[in-house]
Amino acid sequence: MTFSRIAGTGSYLPEKILTNKDLEQMVDTTDEWIVTRTGIKQRHIAATDEFTSDLAYHASINAIASAKINPEDIDLIIVATTTPDLTFPSTACLLQEKLGINKCPAFDIQAVCSGFVYALTTADNFIKTGSAKCVLVVGADTMSRITDYTDRSNCILWGDGAGAVILQASIEPGMLSSHIHADGRHAKLLCVPSGVSKKDSKSTISMEGNAVFKMAVKTLDAIVDETLNANGMQKSDINWLVPHQANIRILQATAKKLHMDMDRVVVTVDKHGNTSAASIPLALDCAVRDGRINRGDNVLMEAFGGGFTWGSVLIRY
């Protein structure tokens, strides 16, 4: 049987940093208020001439180097993003051109903050069916492009960035299981009201924070149980939790569910803010490169996002 495993990781953050002190000059907020409620201290913001495909490119180059492969070895590119450069072609196709790769399939997935989990699940299935052997999976977003910086309730949350992994066919299990879900009944609680087909006066993020928070904690609780049960594992079998970086309180609630100390949770929300589909691969790359996550570790990745979408991936790194 063919399995898939992560052969390399990479990430990229724009140079510009927007701190809470900077936001104090823009909206009616304070550093203390932001940190207390979200855990965020700063976030990175893409330059005006820097686009989602650019962030994806730099993260991909780092992942390719980490995996010790050539770009030509990649036979599928999947980019998870909510903020594509263009309506079309896909950001994946733009990334493909930047990497100098020809002919392999390339497409985007849109599941907002759950996008990387959805993309990794898709890549895993391509490998298991023999349709691909080496997949570049990227989560990249420029959330600053759809943020209203006069809206004190949610402009504090969002940042820009990209993370990438190389997923390869293997005779040894790497991805142990994945679980993805969606419930469109709650779409209006977290959305951008305007799009290509449907026009609205508001084209930035709209969010009912308290309702989203409650739903996120509830669904992530359930996804932890689902993942453990599917693999016949106990909570103590999980070495690391790499969650979507939305809010420190959600991360703490999930860690509590796993009976896990916060020092076993990879936390980047304080420095990155919420980078949507980039959050998990950014955090994963940080923990791999600083030596926390090592080969053989059981790593649980989970996310919740607009749609609503949510899901998890359990890997043996």
User: Whole-angstrom Cα distance, residue 184 to residue 96?
Assistant: 31
Single out the residue of 18, 20, 19 nearest to residue 32, CA to CA: 20
Single out the residue of 120, 123, 10, 4 nearest to residue 61, CA to CA: 10
User: Whole-angstrom Cα distance, residue 212 to residue 49?
Assistant: 32
User: Whole-angstrom Cα distance, residue 227 to residue 179?
Assistant: 7
User: Whole-angstrom Cα distance, residue 248 to residue 268?
Assistant: 9
Q: Is 36 exposed, middle or buried (0-12, 13-18, 19+ CB in 10 A)?
A: exposed
Single out the residue of 183, 179, 106, 108 nearest to residue 139, CA to CA: 108
Torsion region of 130: left, alpha or beta (phi above 0 gives left; psi -120 to 50 gives alpha): left
Single out the residue of 13, 10, 313 nearest to residue 173, CA to CA: 313
CB atoms within 10 A of CB 239: 17
Q: Would you say 223 and 311 are in contact if contact means Cβ atoms under 8 Å apart?
A: yes
Amino acid 232 reads: G
Amino acid 119 reads: A
Residues assigned a catalytic role: 113, 244, 274
